[in-house]
Amino acid sequence: MPTTNKIDIRSLDLPQLQQHFTAMKEPAYRAKQVYQWLWEKSARSFTEMSNLSKDLRNKLDEHYAINVVEVNNSQFSNDHTIKNAFRLYDGNIVEGVLIPMEDRMTACVSSQVGCSLTCKFCATGYMDRKRNLNADEIYDQVVLIDQQAKKNYNVPLTNIVYMGMGEPLLNYANVMKSIERITAPDGLNMSYKRITVSTAGIAKMIKKLADDGAKFNLALSLHAANDKKRNEIMPINEANSLKALAESLKYYFAKTKNPVTYEYIVFNNFNDEIEDAMELAKFCKHVPCKVNLIEYNPIQFADFLNAEGDKIDAFSNYLKNQGITTNIRRSRGKDIDAACGQLAVKEQN
């Protein structure tokens, strides 16, 4: 458990850290050295900061905390996907996944402990939302999964998707700060274009992304292109209708010029008919986009089934014939409950 009287040092930006060092009668350049250790070198303790004096390291340890994330346990799938239960400094657990593929090595990270959106098909939606993750806790997931990729497959991370537990746009400030640190030259120095943030669809926050000049990729979990069906499986749609989402996406594209990805789980006998594909194709006309058709991964709380293969193929072919770039995404890590929609902490020991 955290020591409450210590300051979370990674909650401070560089100017703030420099002010703290000045108050400690330490030169400001030392703050920059510490900042480098924290974000470029991903130091997990003050002891590692070898270019600082022992006295300064002890002083930092006395007043500040590095609230590191630990790998609580890992599960290895038959398809080489690795699911991690990450233990946070306060004992809470979130999950993150390493997805190795031929052309990329992807980290799927969480942004909240649990989720408040109650999507009917998603295991995380059946958990309570306990709290938002801090920016450094999201950053730590990326660092740990990158280390895992190098250790197990001798390949570094190439991509990051904010598609784990939680709704990223309901933890806006911390998600944005984590991306800033991941992409910064004095951070992990990864490209914005290698990062995708997925949202269930919060119209006003999509507009805020546009106003803030977001450079990363945006994915919208759509799953139905008519309000009646979407309301049924995604209660958030009642306050963020397809009309409101379309308006926010037009605003987003006008400002950023970034195309959008629509994620669409194809459920058996729910949204798998050509009529559904026609509705989706109509929605696709609002902004330049591509569609990922996703296999449904069963969870114990819901009785949805994946659509039949020929239905998914027909759905895909219809969209392609309408000139829409469409990919069928096969599940990864299903045997260890690491696939899309399956993340839920089952035990914490």
- Is 95 tagged catalytic? yes
Check the annotation: does 164 bind a ligand: no
Q: Is 306 helix (H, G, I), strand (E, B) or coil?
A: strand
Q: How far is the CA of 202 from the CAs of 15, 20, 292, in angstroms?
A: 32, 37, 20
One of 108, 284, 289, 340 is an active-site residue; which one?
340
Check the annotation: does 223 bind a ligand: yes
Q: Work out the number of other CB atoms within 10 angstroms of the CB of residue 33.
A: 15
* CA–centroid distance for 98 within its chain: 12
Determine the Cα–Cα distance for residues 65 and 7; give it in Å rounded to an integer: 6
Q: Work out the number of other CB atoms within 10 angstroms of the CB of residue 135.
A: 22
One of 26, 70, 95, 273 is an active-site residue; which one?
95
The angle subtended at Cα 170 by Cα 169 and Cα 173, nearest 5°, is 75
Check the annotation: does 133 bind a ligand: no
CA-nearest of 76, 129, 171 to 344 is 129
Check the annotation: does 319 bind a ligand: no
Residue type, 26: E
- Is 295 tagged catalytic? no
Q: Is 57 helix (H, G, I), strand (E, B) or coil?
A: helix
Determine the Cα–Cα distance for residues 84 and 141; give it in Å rounded to an integer: 9
Check the annotation: does 167 bind a ligand: yes
Q: How far is the CA of 313 from the CAs of 239, 263, 264, 309, 316, in angstroms?
A: 32, 16, 13, 6, 5
Check the annotation: does 284 bind a ligand: no
Category of 3 on φ-ψ map: left (φ > 0), alpha (ψ -120 to 50) or beta: beta
Check the annotation: does 297 bind a ligand: yes
Determine the Cα–Cα distance for residues 245 and 301; give it in Å rounded to an integer: 28
Binding-site residues for [4Fe-4S] cluster, in ranges, read: 115, 119, 122
Catalytic amino acids? 95, 340
Binding-site residues for S-adenosyl-L-methionine, in ranges, read: 166-167, 198, 221-223, 297
Binding-site residues, in ranges, read: 115, 119, 122, 166-167, 198, 221-223, 297
